[in-house]
Chains A and B, each alone.
Chain A
Amino acid sequence: MANLATSKKKVTLWDRFRYNKAALISLIILIIIFLMLIFAPLVTSYDAAQSDLYNRLSAPSFEPTAKGGPAHILGTDQLGRDIYSRLIWGGRVSLTVGFVVGSVGALIGITLGMIAGYFGGWTDMIIMRLVDVWASSPTLLIALTFVMVLGPGMRNLIIALLVNSWTLFCRMARSQVLVIRSSAMVESGHAIGASTNRILFKHIMPNIISPLVTTYVLELAHFINAEANLSFLGFGVQPPQTSWGLMIGEGRKYLTQAPWIVLFPGLFIGLTVLCLTLVGNWIRDEFDPLAVKM
């Protein structure tokens, strides 16, 4: 076969994006969503919990309300609360849970995985056996056990979701460390007398970062969905606070009269998760040194 490995042209970051428009669009959408959530008070005109019984279950419209208030562009719910404002404020909760669970899970998992991979032997065996057992056990049920004994709420939901958040990072980090550990880099590091810490952070970390970033982004998508699932069942944040999953859970009783209550939060979950997935896949495909780019 032709010698494809050599190429004169350098592929820039922009090229990488240019060839994957879906990832570029996803990233832009994600940035817009994040900005809207961060600046929630500036982009919403209603308080998420402010009810208005005169405007219950009103359909999406661009007309100002009868009292002259700003339009309910995505309609209102069973208590007359503005769906759009609730989406933004609820999204803050959904994404916060996702980010916290993802980050803490990554921290625990990567630390354990790196310890297992770097030290090997008994340490490795014990940690990986634990991961194996954990992977073949009903982690969702264990998470629900935590919800039951701690009671619902955002903090407890985060604790519950952490149950199943670290194993993937642990496996990824371990396999990456094993690959790098066997390479000459570490050997030469030992030869010149570099300390273990120095080898770990100067030489090993940079090489395992890109697969871990991919895992992080994809897991983020996963946790946003998991949060929605548990909030839908009422195990997450409690009213008057809200999140995307809870909005669907509360609105489902009004499905026939006001389908928009359920429609928009679902679309937002889907859109956010989709964009994260596409960006995650893009990072994996582009920065994986072994992948052949066609």
Chain B
Amino acid sequence: MEETKTKDIILSVKDLSTSFFLREGEVKAVDGVSFSVRKGECLALVGESGSGKTVTALSMLRLVVWPPGKIKSGEVVLDGVSVFDLPMKSMKDVRGKGMAMILQEPMSSLNPSQTIGQQIQEAVEINQGLKGEEAKKKAIEMLGIVRIPSPEKRYYNYPHELSGGMKQRIMIAIALSCRPKVLIADEPTCSLDVTIQAQILRLMQQLRKEIDTTILFITSDLGIVAEMADRVAIMYAGQLIEICDVFTLFENSAHPYTRGIMGSITAMKEGGRLNIISGDPPDLMALPSGCKFHPRCDYCQDICKTEEPGYTDLSGTGDHWVRCHFPLNKSK
């Protein structure tokens, strides 16, 4: 899948495959994923849990641990640097300064035995080249930026002394302290309760305007997609099945799976019955042949069961790709 607009592309991922090798067999968590992110935009990576979003992000930073996980193939180019060609020792320069990551589980993503101040300060020291008092000042400043009240005092708190929402703010502060070229946010709100979710999202939107950073936003919540994203990439069973801008997603999505998940929210909004996609979520240990979605697809034909579809460019400009033998159009 080639995108025509190559200018301004800061991050491109090509044919990324990552598997976990368990005793029961190989789990293809990520299978041939390709996409690019343009400078300054927010790309949302969307899919149900287990579709390989997080593993995609971890693979980009080479944080998949062997055993059992292994990056099998692919290429990640960040700002002209081919990440997978670097020796492991140089990865510390890509992590942080290149791509920083906010994890989805703030409760356990902070080191329990260090103060939050120390943990932010460490990111500052490594990635901004500051030392000692200066770094500490910067860390306190970062606490203020993520709207933590009385940051000088909070600097000395341990993670267990903070609420979940506060911890997620700390995670954001750590990631921002790295001054990354691309910020990866992996479901930053999924484990928080609804009001805190809204606060964190608002904070991220404000910060996005203030700092003008590129974001890869991983989520399974289409409401968040509508609020945050410029473009959307949909994942299913480890594969990327559709990529388009956010308006196309809501008005003209072409993959039956995308239609299915879109249908489930539009139906709810209209008060109708929830249009749940039939069948079970895919078992990654035993994926079907052909199109991975065919057992659950309403439009399934014989060819779908045997042959894996390639990517089709629907827009002609390289902005809307879909991986389907029979992409849907508006009228259907």
Contact = CB atoms under 8 A, between A and B. Distances in A.
Interface of A: 1-4, 6-9, 11, 15, 19, 293-294
Nearest to A1: B54
B29 interface: yes
B50 interface: yes
Contacts, number: 46
5 contacts: A4-B20, A15-B23, A293-B22, A294-B22, A294-B67
Contact of A3 (B25, B67, B281): B281
B27 A2 contact: yes
Contacts of B52: 2
Contacts of A294: 22-23, 67-68
B55 A1 contact: yes
Query: Could you say which interface size class chain B belongs to?
Result: 20 to 34
Contacts of A11: 23-24
B50 A3 contact: yes
Interface in B16-32: 20, 22-25, 27, 29
Contacts of A7: 22, 24-25, 283, 285
Given A1-B54, A1-B55, A294-B67, A6 B285 contact: yes
Q: Is the interface of B mostly helix, strand, loop or mixed?
A: loop
Name the 4 nearest CB pairs between A and B, nearest first: A3-B50, A2-B29, A7-B24, A8-B286
Interface of B: 20, 22-25, 27, 29, 49-50, 52, 54-55, 67-68, 238, 281, 283-286
Most buried by A among B22, B23, B54, B68: B23
A201 B20 CA distance: 40
A3 B238 CA distance: 11
Nearest to B48: A3
Contacts of A19: 23
Given A8-B283, A9-B285, A2 B55 contact: yes
B22 A3 contact: no
Nearest to B49: A3
A254 to B, nearest CB: 49
Nearest to A10: B24
B47 to A, nearest CB: 12
B23 A6 contact: no
Most buried by B among A1, A19, A293: A1
Q: Is the interface of A mostly helix, strand, loop or mixed?
A: loop
B32 to A, nearest CB: 16
Given A2-B284, A3-B281, A293 B23 contact: yes
Nearest to B280: A6
A8 B284 CA distance: 10
Contact of B27 (A4, A9, A15, A293): A4
B264 to A, nearest CB: 20
Given A9-B25, A294-B68, A2 B20 contact: yes
B237 to A, nearest CB: 10
A11 B22 CA distance: 12
A2 B58 CA distance: 13
Given A1-B29, A2-B29, 16 more contacts: A1-B50, A2-B27, A2-B284, A3-B281, A3-B284, A4-B20, A4-B27, A7-B24, A7-B283, A7-B285, A8-B283, A9-B24, A9-B25, A293-B22, A293-B23, A294-B68
A4 to B, nearest CB: 7
Contacts of A1: 29, 50, 54-55
Most buried by B among A1, A2, A8, A15: A2
A93 B49 CA distance: 58
Contacts of B285: 6-9
Contacts of B286: 8
A26 to B, nearest CB: 20
Nearest to B285: A7
Given A11-B23, A293-B22, A294-B68, A2 B50 contact: yes
A293 B24 CA distance: 9
Contacts of A9: 24-25, 285
Given A9-B285, A294-B67, A4 B49 contact: no
A15 B23 CA distance: 9
Contacts of A2: 20, 27, 29, 50, 52, 55, 238, 284
A8 B23 CA distance: 12
Contacts of A8: 24, 283, 285-286
